[in-house]
Amino acid sequence: MRIRFKLIGAAVALMSLAACGSNNQDSKANGEQAVEVSETVSATAAEADIQVIDFYATWCVPCKHLAPIIEKMEKKYAGKIAFSRVDVDAEPQLAEQYNITAMPTLVFIKGGEVIDVAVGLMSEDELDAKLQDLTK
C-alpha cells in the first residue's frame, strides 16, 4: 500500500510540474506583428519601451518561486523596464491572446512587439542577463 501511494504522489507531482512548465525553454516569438494588450497590461507599459509580462497562476509552485525574483528585477530596472503580472485564471482571454499554455511564462515586449518568450522557472541570474540584453 505504501508503494502505491508513493507512486501516485510522484505521478501527481510530475503532472503538477508539467502543468506549470517547470523546465525553462526560451523561444523567439514572431516579432512581425504589433501586440495589442489589455488595459491592465498597457497601463504598466506606458512608462517604458520595454515590458515584461509575467503570466502566472496562484496554484503554480514555480510561479511562486519566480515572484520574488520578478520583484527584485522590477526594483533594479525601475524606469527602464515595465513589469506586469497576469493571473491566467483571472484573465484567460489575455492568456489565450499570448498563447500561454504553461506557467510561469514571461513575455518580453520591446517597441510594441513580442521579441522573446521564456517558459518555466528562471534563476535570478538568467533573468537578469536577459534583461540586461534588452536594455542595451
Q: Where are the beta strands (DSSP E) in 66-111?
A: 81-87, 105-110
- Please give the Cα distance from 128 to 130 (Å, whole number): 5
Q: Does residue 127 contact residue 24 with C-beta atoms inside 8 Å?
A: no
- Which of the residues are catalytic? 60, 63
- Please give the Cα distance from 36 to 34 (Å, whole number): 7
Contacts of 32 (CB under 8 A, 6+ apart): 113
CA distance readout (Å), 42 to 2, 49, 84, 98: 51, 11, 9, 14
Q: Does residue 109 contact residue 14 with C-beta atoms inside 8 Å?
A: no
